[in-house]
């Protein structure tokens, strides 16, 4: 099970026994969403009895036996080494014993799944079967079938299973691109082991980005009651077609609190087709990091007419974006002609395209918008895994020195080892070791951050930082490009604050 996010948590729905889902009978085992629409099953005031009667007979419960896991890796956070070398106390999230971790007990993950073809392909969540060494699918007629994991993709939270069988009941797949806020939807699953539980509600929003490792998924947000055990179950429209896969809830307690998230079926089936062919999902990669948002101060500093767009904070060396000339400080305002409202719009559009695809970006730079063609690279198939970043303890940590008092920061030079750990260029960045001013704290600058640039002026030393700030007067707003635990980002700070 994934970790809770605190204080407001996105909670995956695996847990106690889970009912699976069944589908509308289909003569075509490989039916696609392009099929003619099914007749409306719900009219007038909501009454979902006919819909449930037709889709429930193929309910599937997933039981996955989880193999013991052992981790022998150290912290995967490159900032940990910087804190150690600068002699600063580790934040709580970086603390912990070095070396081997104890084995996790063997366990049982239970969730929901649903058949997408009569010959036994089953769709569920990645987190339901992640690390499983044995998966069982339980049908409504009490049959228990051993399932093979054809492929599983962490970044979309989609897993494709296969059981042996013919003429199995399969749900009809809809088209999630037509889903709209306000429409009725139905979920079927096994929350807390209560098989074939039916809940209904409306779509409350579309295209939601929940962050974390699923930036490629434009989630469907609903108010359908979803709880642990619903993971991998279908979200259905009023024609009984699957439009999403229930995946997460937004909660402070771990239980349902009115906000649920489903993976659009179009996104899921994109992954399914690749999992069938190769067992993994390949996605395009732009090769940039982007700011979480563009506030009013950043918009003014960039000369933007409004706050719309995705602000580039870092361009990865050798990426498609780098080769096309994308620069830190650029604002992506459109993608292949589609408007980009914020950073959450970009990743799903990139991830839906294969490596090698050519895209046209509308980019704001130096007070005007221009079109830039970019050939996408290939994204990693999994979230970055932990690796040994250990190093010999050293006594030659650079001594902190004050920067210009304008920013209220203490800084330290970075040496080649620091830059390798942080994947920086040979003369890129200066480390923050202390934050003295209220303005810097309010801007979110923390010890361990690295200042990469003042505005568009790169800095690689304390001297270069002071030089870039030479013409800044107290009270003026300064834009800094940083790298740190939150990733590359831009912030604004009032000098002398």
Active site positions, annotated:
127, 157, 231
* The two structure tokens encoding residue 206: 């579309």
Distance of alpha carbon 445 from alpha carbon 431, whole angstroms: 11
Tell me if 231 is assigned to a ligand binding site.
yes
Q: Is 230 annotated as a binding residue?
A: yes
Which tokens hold the place of 79? 């900032």
Q: Does 157 belong to an annotated binding site?
A: yes
Q: Do the annotations mark residue 418 as ligand-binding?
A: no
Q: Is 314 annotated as a binding residue?
A: no
Binding-site residues sit at 127, 157, 229-231
Binding-site residues for substrate sit at 127, 157, 229-231
């Amino acid at each position: 099970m994934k970790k809770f996010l605190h204080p407001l948590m996105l909670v995956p729905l695996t847990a106690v026994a889970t009912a699976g889902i069944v589908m509308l009978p289909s003569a075509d085992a490989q039916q696609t969403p392009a099929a003619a629409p099914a007749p409306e099953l719900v009219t007038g005031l909501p009454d979902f009895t006919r819909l449930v009667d037709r889709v429930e007979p193929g309910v599937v419960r997933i039981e996955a036996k989880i193999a013991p896991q052992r981790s022998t890796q150290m912290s995967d956070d490159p900032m940990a080494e910087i804190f150690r070398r600068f002699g600063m106390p580790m934040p709580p999230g970086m603390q912990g014993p070095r070396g081997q971790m104890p084995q996790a007990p063997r366990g049982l993950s239970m969730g929901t799944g649903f058949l997408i073809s009569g010959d036994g392909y089953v769709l569920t969540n990645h987190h339901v079967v992640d690390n499983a060494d044995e998966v069982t699918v339980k049908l409504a007629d009490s049959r228990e079938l051993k399932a093979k994991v054809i492929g599983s993709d962490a970044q979309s939270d989609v897993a494709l299973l296969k059981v042996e069988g013919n003429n199995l009941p399969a749900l009809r797949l809809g088209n999630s691109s037509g889903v709209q806020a306000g429409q009725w939807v139905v979920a079927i699953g096994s929350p807390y082991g209560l098989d074939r539980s039916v809940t209904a509600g409306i779509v409350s929003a579309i295209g939601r980005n929940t962050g974390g490792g699923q930036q490629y998924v434009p989630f469907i947000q609903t108010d359908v009651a979803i709880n642990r055990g619903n993971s991998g179950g279908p979200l259905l429209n009023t024609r009984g077609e699957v439009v999403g896969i229930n995946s997460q809830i937004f909660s402070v307690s771990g239980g349902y609190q009115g906000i649920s998230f489903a993976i659009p079926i179009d996104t899921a089936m994109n992954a399914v087709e690749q999992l069938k062919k190769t067992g993994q999902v390949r996605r395009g990669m732009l090769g940039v990091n982007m700011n979480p948002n563009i506030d009013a101060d950043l918009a003014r500093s960039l000369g933007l007419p409004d706050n719309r767009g995705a602000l580039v904070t870092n361009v990865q060396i050798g990426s498609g974006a780098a080769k096309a000339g994308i620069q830190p400080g650029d604002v992506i305002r459109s993608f292949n002609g589609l408007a980009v409202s914020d950073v959450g719009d970009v990743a799903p559009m990139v991830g839906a395209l294969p490596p090698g695809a050519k895209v046209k970006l509308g980019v704001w730079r130096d007070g005007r918008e221009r079109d830039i063609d970019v050939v996408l690279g290939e994204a990693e198939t999994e979230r970055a895994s932990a690796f040994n970043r250990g190093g010999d303890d050293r006594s030659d940590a650079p001594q902190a020195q004050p920067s210009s008092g304008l920013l209220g920061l203490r800084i330290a030079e970075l040496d080649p080892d620091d830059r390798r750990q942080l994947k920086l260029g040979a003369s890129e960045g200066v480390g923050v070791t202390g934050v003295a001013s209220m303005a810097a704290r309010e801007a979110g600058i923390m010890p361990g951050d690295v200042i990469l640039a003042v505005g568009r002026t790169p800095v690689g030393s304390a001297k270069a930082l002071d030089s870039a700030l030479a013409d800044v007067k107290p009270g003026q707003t300064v834009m800094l490009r940083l790298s740190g635990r939150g990733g590359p980002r831009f912030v604004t700070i009032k000098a002398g604050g």
